[in-house]
């Protein structure tokens, strides 16, 4: 295949292993760029973590640089002190965490020149001036609209955390309006996000959906369970687990005493206190591939009350052949018809009713699961997503 030139990709999250929404999206873009460009990549990692560059299959990258971030204590007190400082400086947490490494990036880039530069996540948008020096064209891949994410998260948090979230949302919106017009283009997860990004002043916007590698429906035996998956340290997922555990699960468990709620994902300690002592809850923790695990369950639940972008957990359920019940926010941005590819419920009683409907009726569950898998095959595989980039001219 003829290469289109040289490209540079900046990744704040390790793309591999591709577990979780952010890494899966980055892995898809990295694979596409590696097929079409001679690709270099810059990775960030936490102190003591594995080098992300070592996980990339041989031959995909021409060269790579890994920058180790300064050590940050994860104690509650240390986090509080850091975030108070960020409030005083008006800098959103992840923009602060991944910022300030210009000198290290410039030293590694040296005199290299690239036809294309891609920055993953708005957290690293501040590196635009540096990329302008070495890249003819610069784009940004927006996994979320950060200002929307902060605003919605504020609505699910108690005071004073809600105040901090609202303030970081305001500061993020200011940064979006200031920085996004400086990029040649932005990638959005959905037409819904693309419209908002356009209003924020982006020059060009491409709808590049979240996607998964094409995979057959796993051949596994269903058990009497429902499943929730995701990074359990992510604030919207914590709020979703709290909502389901407090408002939905007790009634479901009473109605179906043998039903198991399986919670799958990394950082399980972040939600352990929310489900401790409740019967029938299985806190699985991280798995190498979520799809076979999701495939075992009768239904996937996505009771999100906040968030932005689109939910990989729904794509994984569709790929697994497992029907989904989600809130409107959970299903936002996906090209799906409520009642066909998934069920939508926004209050606890309706959510519990729809989950019970899928648990009780194999015919209804199979019908919705089949339609979801068809939607996945048509629009949310890597190949389908890459077609959007081809049409856009990337």
pLDDT confidence band for 17 (50 / 70 / 90) = confident
d(CA 334, CA 341): 10
Residue closest to 179 by CA, chosen among 101, 234, 121: 121
Where in the sequence is the domain holding 247, given as residue range(s)? 225-379
Q: Are residues 182 and 247 in the same domain?
A: no
Q: Is residue 115 part of a domain?
A: yes
Question: Which DSSP string corresponds to 202-241?
Answer: -S-EEE----B---PPP-----SEEEEES-TTSHHHHHHH
pLDDT above 90 (res 74): no
Mean pLDDT of 222-230: 97
pLDDT in tens, 267-286: 999 999 999 999 999 999 89
Q: What count of other Cβ atoms lies within 10 Å of the Cβ of residue 44?
A: 21
| Domains identified in the chain, total number | 2
Q: What is the pLDDT of residue 197?
A: 97
Q: Is residue 124 part of a domain?
A: yes
pLDDT in tens, 155-193: 999 999 999 999 999 999 999 999 999 999 999 999 999
pLDDT above 80 (res 228): yes
Q: Are residues 202 and 235 in the same domain?
A: no
Q: What is the pLDDT of residue 98?
A: 97
Q: Are residues 163 and 261 in the same domain?
A: no
Angle CA 263–265–268, to nearest 5: 75
Mean pLDDT of 26-52: 96
Mean pLDDT of 104-122: 97
pLDDT above 90 (res 20): no
Mean pLDDT of 39-47: 96
pLDDT in tens, 311-342: 999 999 999 999 999 999 999 999 899 999 99
Supply the mean pLDDT for the chain. 96
Residue closest to 321 by CA, chosen among 387, 209, 227: 227
- Alpha helix positions (H), 287-345: 290-295, 312-320, 328-331
Domain limit, last residue, from 183, 208, 233: 208
Q: Are residues 202 and 236 in the same domain?
A: no
Q: Are residues 20 and 128 in the same domain?
A: yes
CATH number at residue 177: 3.40.50
pLDDT confidence band for 1 (50 / 70 / 90) = low
The answer to whether 118 and 141 have CB atoms below 8 angstroms apart is yes
Q: Are residues 272 and 156 in the same domain?
A: no
pLDDT above 80 (res 2): no
Which tokens sit at 114? Answer: 């690239």
pLDDT above 80 (res 345): yes
Q: What is the pLDDT of residue 18?
A: 80
Domain limit, last residue, from 174, 208, 242: 208
Q: Is residue 31 part of a domain?
A: yes
pLDDT above 80 (res 19): no
pLDDT above 90 (res 102): yes
Q: What is the pLDDT of residue 21?
A: 85
Question: Which of the residue ranges 1-5, 21-25, 76-80, 210-214 has the most confident prediction, judged by mean pLDDT?
Answer: 210-214
Q: Are residues 236 and 345 in the same domain?
A: yes
Residue % of the chain over a pLDDT of 90:
95
Residue closest to 108 by CA, chosen among 31, 184, 43: 43
Q: Are residues 53 and 191 in the same domain?
A: yes
Q: What is the pLDDT of residue 249?
A: 97
Q: Are residues 243 and 97 in the same domain?
A: no
Q: Are residues 229 and 131 in the same domain?
A: no
The answer to whether 185 and 139 have CB atoms below 8 angstroms apart is yes
pLDDT in tens, 352-393: 999 999 999 999 999 999 999 999 999 999 999 999 999 999
pLDDT above 70 (res 243): yes
| pTM score, whole prediction | 0.95
pLDDT above 90 (res 37): yes
Q: Are residues 190 and 331 in the same domain?
A: no
Domain limit, last residue, from 182, 208, 234: 208
Q: What is the pLDDT of residue 261?
A: 98
d(CA 20, CA 153): 19
Mean pLDDT of 91-104: 97
Residue 142's contacts (CB-CB under 8 Å, 6 or more residues apart) are 121, 122, 186, 187, 188, 189, 193, 197, 309
d(CA 238, CA 68): 28
Q: What is the pLDDT of residue 336?
A: 93
Tell the residue number behind the tokens 């590049």, with chain if given.
Answer: 208
pLDDT in tens, 291-305: 999 999 999 999 999
Q: What count of other Cβ atoms lies within 10 Å of the Cβ of residue 144?
A: 22
Mean pLDDT of 222-238: 96
Residue closest to 178 by CA, chosen among 149, 134, 146: 146
Q: Is residue 10 part of a domain?
A: yes
Q: Is residue 160 part of a domain?
A: yes
């Amino acid at each position: 295949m003829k290469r289109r030139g040289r490209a540079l990709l900046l990744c704040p999250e390790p793309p591999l292993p591709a577990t979780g929404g952010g890494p899966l999206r980055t892995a898809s873009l990295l694979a596409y760029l590696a097929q079409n460009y001679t690709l270099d990549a810059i990775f960030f990692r936490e102190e003591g973590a594995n080098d992300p560059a070592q996980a990339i299959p041989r031959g995909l990258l021409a060269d790579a640089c890994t920058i180790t971030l300064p050590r940050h204590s994860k104690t509650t007190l240390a986090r509080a002190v850091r975030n108070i400082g960020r409030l005083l400086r008006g800098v959103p947490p992840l923009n602060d965490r991944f910022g300030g490494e210009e000198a290290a990036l410039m030293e590694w880039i040296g005199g290299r020149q690239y036809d294309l530069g891609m920055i993953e996540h708005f957290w690293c948008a501040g590196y635009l001036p540096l990329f302008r020096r070495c890249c003819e064209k610069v784009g940004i891949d927006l996994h979320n609209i950060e200002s929307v994410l902060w605003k919605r998260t504020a609505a699910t948090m108690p005071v004073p955390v809600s105040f901090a979230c609202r303030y970081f949302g305001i500061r993020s919106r200011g940064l979006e309006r200031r920085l996004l017009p400086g990029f040649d283009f932005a990638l959005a997860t959905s037409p819904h996000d693309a419209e908002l990004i356009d209003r924020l002043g982006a020059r060009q916007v491409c709808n590049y959906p979240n996607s998964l590698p094409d995979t057959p429906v796993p051949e596994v035996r269903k058990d009497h369970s429902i499943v929730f998956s995701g990074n359990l340290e992510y604030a919207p997922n914590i709020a979703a687990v709290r909502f389901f555990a407090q408002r939905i699960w007790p009634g479901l468990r009473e109605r179906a005493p043998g039903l198991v709620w399986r919670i799958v994902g990394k950082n399980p300690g972040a939600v352990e206190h929310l489900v401790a002592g409740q019967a029938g809850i299985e806190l699985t923790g991280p798995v190498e591939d979520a799809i076979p695990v999701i495939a075992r369950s009768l239904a996937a639940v996505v009771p999100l009350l906040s968030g932005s972008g689109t939910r990989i957990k729904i794509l994984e359920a569709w790929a697994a052949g497992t029907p989904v019940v989600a809130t409107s926010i959970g299903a936002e941005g996906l090209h799906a018809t409520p009642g066909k590819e998934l069920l939508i419920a926004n209050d606890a009683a309706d959510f519990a009713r729809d989950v019970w409907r899928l648990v009780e009726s194999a015919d209804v569950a199979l019908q919705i699961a089949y339609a979801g898998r068809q939607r996945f095959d048509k629009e949310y595989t890597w190949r389908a997503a890459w077609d959007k980039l081809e049409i856009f001219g990337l």
